[in-house]
Amino acid sequence: MLTEKMQTALNGQLNAELYSSYLYLSMSAYLKSLNLNGFANWMRIQAQEELVHVMKFYDYINERDGRVSLTAVAAPPNEWDSAAAAFAHVYEHEQKVTRLINQLVNLAISEKDHASNNFLQWFISEQVEEEASVNAVVQKLKLMGDAPGGLFIIDQELAARVFTPPPATGE
């Protein structure tokens, strides 16, 4: 069973993951409006991945005899200066999410909640992957500079991304 403190923190993270999905969907719409369909595809898939994270928290809270508490999700921005600016924002956002996950792990340790600590380790690994994936795009955009041909090439690369749901974990 979850402590009240842990349940509140996990529900807060569930809400943060919903915001992440909302943010990436907003970015997808912005990039689509620029006819950067590959960039828009990358963000839309990222939004789907964040919903998987939401459901992991949802299921875990319920499995631990807790109560999921959904709260309002803040409206994300809907305009950026460029595709590069949007990806820089994603990188900063993922770093923030990493800090939030680390705080949850610290809380689980202080609460001696070994099950939650174990659950959160998946997210620790996931955040390493999330930051690296976004940073790779950010670095390519920096290397490209003002070369419009480079934007086209990166757009084509990002168009190839497909959503791959994680394997089911014995519900």
Question: How does pLDDT run across 67-107, given as a tens digit for each residue?
Answer: 999 999 999 999 999 999 999 999 999 999 999 999 999 99
Superfamily holding 4-159: Ferritin, core subunit, four-helix bundle (1.20.1260.10)
Find out whether 43 and 34 touch, Cβ atoms under 8 Å.
no
Rounded distance between C-alpha atoms, residue 117 and residue 111, angstroms: 10
What residues contact 36, with CB distance under 8 A and at least 6 apart?
83, 151, 155
Q: What is the pTM of this model?
A: 0.94
pLDDT, mean of residues 20-48: 98
